[in-house]
Structure 1
């Protein structure tokens, strides 16, 4: 638990991948909880028209591709007032670590899931350090704590995201910046539509993320599956590994 606690009321936030799924739900949750302004990053800002109509000037669509350094640099200029940075943008490919396309799939996902987090966070971190209090939340996955065979290379990237989050936490330990890792299980989004298992809602995840930041939580398990498996991770990492191994085939 961090001593830094970030209530969204009156704060300025940026959410990457803010036009659908978990990202969109977090944008809405922040606004509903009184955020002064939320920049919603998306490759195509036009997909945010409906949210813009509802929330007006408090919602700022922002062209953002976390694999494109030019859009990241522009976003950092436009959104220099950000106090809460939510790294949510990500991609998922269903595959086995033994598959013939594993190396290619891994490279494609690393570009978004890992390099994207580092490039976006590094573009904003100096500004965040200057704020009285700030937060960086990074959406990883339970699959970052133990490899799930049906999403083998994705799991590798999310394990890297877990390590990146720990790195930022260590680097910013003496600063007034909360660094939180978010570890969802199966969530009902377009990304997981082909996964046949019980899924929680993006809205429940968003509420847990915002609650977690307000409470100063460094590790957020935001849904039923992650609560069940993630809470025991510290004492028995093998538990998740064995559970996920059952998904082979």
Structure 2
């Protein structure tokens, strides 16, 4: 189903920097009516508030805290698009001494956070026949040794995103799974790949194109598009195929 951002109200977790900030800026430039900036630290969005005035509104949200998410959903009842962008990453191999603790923390944010956000906004998205966008990663498709726990959490969030797609489909709610590869953000600094990183701007451009065309997957940057080539057949014949009956 096609979905256009013009005059829509958007809720973005982690909107204060990196990909979240780029989405905010591009969506407003493309005609979004308003963007809720869902962040842990409200002071971190002051520059966006000064730039966009009444087109943005900051809401304090911690996606590990169900109460804060529910409070945000109860306030932002005019939302058409929910973008779950907030996430964490650690560079931990699978048998490191801290691997289990790290994995628990990443699942708490990257997986349970998605589920909390989707649940809190379920009724609003159905009423608006809106869109839910989840920032996953190419790391959800392949495990990289020094990011093993992060990759595991993102594989789980990708699986949950598929379930959400099937859950919302009868209600005409679009669900989008975004799989950046290497984008110039703080995460790229952590992983050491900033020298080959694409601009964060490619992500919102890809999101809007996919929403408009009704696609489920987005591989927005140069590295992601290389992986998309190999993944496409599996996606078409397994992920997107209905095996019911």
Of 17, 30, 35, which residue of structure 1 is paired with 2:14?
17
Residue 201 (structure 1) aligned to one of 199, 202, 209:
199
Task: Quote the Cα distance in structure 2 between the aligned partners of 1:236 and 1:122.
Answer: 29
Q: Residue 107 of structure 1: CA displacement?
A: 0.3
Task: Flag structure 1 segments of 5+ consecutive residues without an equivalent.
Answer: 238-249
2:37, 2:229 → 1: CA distance? 30
Alpha-carbon spacing, 1:159–1:195, altered in 2? closer, same or farther (3 Å): same
Partner of 2:224: 226
Give the structure 2 partner of residue 191 of structure 1: 187
**Structure 2: distance between partners of 1:98 and 1:230:** 29
CA shift for structure 1 position 236:
6.4
Q: How much has 1:164 moved relative to structure 2? A: 0.5
- Match for residue 86 of structure 1 among 83, 94, 97: 83
Q: Retained in 2: the 8 A contact 1:29–1:210?
A: no
**Corresponding residue for 2:43?**
46
Q: Which residue of 2 aligns with 1:241?
A: none
Q: Does 1:67 align with 2:67?
A: no
TM-superposition CA deviations, 1:103-141 (whole Å, max 9, x none) = 00000111110000000110001111011x311010100
Tell me if structure 1 keeps the 8 A contact 2:64–2:109: yes
Cα distance in 1 for residues equivalent to 2:148 and 2:98: 11
TM superposition shift of 1:230: 1.7
SS state at 2:171 partner: coil
* Residue 214 (str. 1) matches residue 212 (str. 2): yes
Counterpart mapping for 1:152-163 below 5 A: 152-163=148-159
In the TM superposition, 1:37-186 aligns within 5 A as 37-131=34-128, 133-186=129-182
Which residue does 1:244 correspond to in 2? none
| TM-score between both structures, scaled by the size of structure 2 | 0.92
Q: Deviations over 1:128-184 (max 9, x none)?
A: 1011x3110101000001111111000000000110000001111211111110000
Higher helix share: 2
- CA shift for structure 1 position 235: 3.0
Gaps of 5+ in 2: 236-245
After TM superposition, the runs of 4+ consecutive aligned structure 1 residues lying more than 4 A away are none
Whole-angstrom CA distance in 2 between matches of 1:48 and 1:64: 13
Structure 1 length as normaliser, TM-score?
Answer: 0.90
